[in-house]
A and B are shown apart, each in its own frame.
Chain A
Amino acid sequence: MRAVCWHGKHDVRVDEVADPQIVSKGDVIVKVALTCICGSDLHLYNGYVPTMKKGDILGHEFVGEVVEAGSGVTRFHVGDRVIVPFPISCGVCWYCKHELWSLCDNSNPNSWMLEHLYGDTGGGIFGYSHMYGGFSGGQAEYVRVPFADVGLEKIPDGIPYEQVVLLTDICPTGYQAADNCNINPGDTVAVWGCGPVGLMAMMSARHLGAERVIGIDRFPDRLQMAHSQCQAEVLNYEEVDVAEALQNMTGGRGPDSCIDAVGLEAVGTGIEGIYDSVKQTLRLENDRASALRQLTKACRKGGTLSIVGVYSGFIDKFPMGAIFAKGLTLHAGQAHVHKYLPHLLKLVQEQQLNPSSIITHRLPLEEAPRGYKTFLNKQDACIKIVLNPQAQGAAATPGSEQASAG
């Protein structure tokens, strides 16, 4: 089969590789109908995530059809159209039973790799380095999906793949970011980063009752999308002092909750931006923390910082004093997709939520290398790219025919 493989920094290729097989009785093989490039794939693409190996198949956002099921699978049959959550969860450990699905104890065979750095680590993730289990990803024609009975969600008839492909990751990730803010009526939620996850977080915050949402970014097209799709007020952090602007917009209080949908590759401004870039290049700091510092400064007293952007190691000049003095609460972590999936699917069915409205590019799998480049450089007003492994030939243009409903 054809699959998008990692070959090194800024080097992904579509290779011919062996088809996956049923390895454990709880596996299914999914024929991928649609798969996306995720913002966290860019961290791999930029070489910020260790333990990647040449030839690793990328991709953790994919939907498709079950074409083979192991003898132990009871909930799914050949022909079922399914949503596959990006975290792999066993369903029986203490964490899975407590709805902390992405922290599964049993799904990451390489969990020892991060033990010394973090003390412990989360579950496996499709196509996301060996420290997250070394599972082959979904940017391919076929994928082996373990623990199928636990994770997968059947797509109701009549719902096209494209409407649910974002439920694999970014939509639940954004929803969890907003859910962790414990939004009360009248609340203002500010979101750093108007990429796919940021947009989903704003949509979700609106849905969960926020009075106002404010989107922060530096790209006009992304700010425009935040305004049009999420009814957000917007701030360009290259033009204004964000903390000050937020204070002025909220009667001097600051937002009730702040969401970090940026993560470790934040592009800072001025001296601070240079400082983080130099330290990261010298490997003296893993992660650039300029977004996180702004969140901390801007948030109102007693408010919540909800972190869904990916961080991998250590950060510098972290304003712990502000967190303490203002009595802030921190929420962080990978999304527990399984927890939110049924509810979000219902919202999509009832047309209360339209995640697919942020898809800007539809490409065949062959075009993945170009897609990565376009997404990284945010060219061509690119917000979200969907790859179709079944499409042959020329690239589909935005707005062209959607994937069939099967």
Chain B
Amino acid sequence: MDPSETERSQSREWRRETRVNVGPAERKASVIGGAALAVSGLRCISKRNYASGLAMMLAGGMFLYRGQTGHCGIYDAMGVDTVHTHNSALTIEKAVTIGLPPNEVYEFWRNLENLPRFMRHLESVQVTGARTSHWKAVGPGGISAEWDAEMMEDVPGQQISWHSVGEADVPNKGSVEFREAPGYRGTEVKVTIDYYPPGGGAGRAAAKLAQGINSQQLEEDLKRLKQILEVGEETTARRTVQ
């Protein structure tokens, strides 16, 4: 199954809506729970059980609204805000443990051209110099973005960091740390990525692209990296060669 087709609610922190006061995990739960409630309500109504059906649809609708917009009137009234407000960057951070020594995981990542093998949103990374590279990303509906990147830190077996330079469609910077995991568990890989989606009409496509780059996606990417390094390839449930 192609995850981009799934009905995941995307984190929209990048819209920086001041009215957003429900955190991303809670919003996801709101959407899923709200949809289930609304559907159950519809079922009740189809069985002529109007009162409970309507009540469930109303409650479901409220949760759906809350999940979609990230705004909860009840939270507002209570002064609750479960979003960590960023200045303008969208920061995502994820970690995974991979059963190989830090050097080997570092080596794989250090060859930046390997990144599109596990990062879904990347179409290609071309190494253009000792510290420079050119990145191409694809988003929903065939939107694409390109940028040049420069490596900042490169500590063999420990850390790599990079940032976009010049006129990037989606300005971004990233860092990955490799640390030996306790008890012979291999390497703890921690990735932090900051995006700065541009504002205004010109940035709409880029913003749409940035939507697909969220912590959920990074989580999947890192699981794919783990599969490639531990098993030798990405695990697939496909039944036929495509």
Contact = CB atoms under 8 A, between A and B. Distances in A.
A221 B237 CA distance: 39
Interface string A152-183: 00000000000000000000000000000000
B182 to A, nearest CB: 12
Contacts, number: 77
Interface of A: 18-24, 57, 90, 92-94, 105-112, 115-116, 124, 130, 133-136, 144, 146, 281-283
Contacts of A94: 97, 99, 185-186
Contact of A283 (B28, B36, B236): B36
Nearest to A144: B239
Contact of A135 (B52, B186, B230, B237): B237
B236 A90 contact: no
Taking residues whose C-beta sits less than 8 angstroms from the other chain, chain B's interface range is 20 to 34
Interface string B1-12: 101000000000
A92 B241 contact: no
Contacts of A22: 241
B34 to A, nearest CB: 11
B40 A124 contact: no
A265 B28 CA distance: 27
B237 A20 contact: no
B237 A106 contact: no
A327 to B, nearest CB: 29
A57 B3 CA distance: 20
A23 B240 contact: yes
Instruction: Pick from B186, B223, B234, B241 the residue with the most CB of A within 10 Å.
Output: B223
Contacts of A283: 36-37, 40
A124 B237 contact: yes
Interface string B171-198: 0000000000000011000000000000
Contact of B239 (A23, A107, A111, A133): A23
* Chain A contact residues: helix, strand, loop or mixed: loop
Which 6 pairs across A and B sit closest by C-beta, in order of nearness?
Answer: A134-B237, A135-B237, A20-B239, A136-B239, A106-B227, A21-B240
B219 A146 contact: no
A109 B235 contact: yes
A90 B235 contact: yes
B240 A106 contact: no
Interface of B: 1, 3, 25, 28-29, 36-37, 40, 52, 56, 97, 99, 185-186, 216, 219-220, 223, 226-227, 230-231, 233-241
Contact of A282 (B25, B56, B219): B56
Instruction: Pick from B52, B233, B236 the residue with the most CB of A within 10 Å.
Output: B236
A23 B234 CA distance: 11
Contacts of A144: 239
Nearest to A136: B239
Nearest to A147: B231
B40 to A, nearest CB: 5
B239 A106 contact: no
A286 to B, nearest CB: 10
Contacts of B226: 93, 105-106
A23 B241 contact: yes
B102 to A, nearest CB: 16
B235 A124 contact: yes
24 contacts: A18-B239, A20-B239, A21-B241, A23-B236, A23-B238, A24-B236, A90-B227, A90-B230, A90-B231, A92-B230, A93-B230, A94-B185, A105-B230, A107-B235, A109-B234, A109-B235, A109-B237, A112-B216, A124-B235, A124-B237, A133-B235, A136-B239, A282-B52, A282-B56
A116 B237 contact: no
A183 B230 CA distance: 37
Contacts of B231: 90, 92, 106
Given A94-B186, A144-B239, A282-B52, 6 more contacts: A20-B239, A20-B240, A23-B236, A94-B97, A108-B235, A146-B235
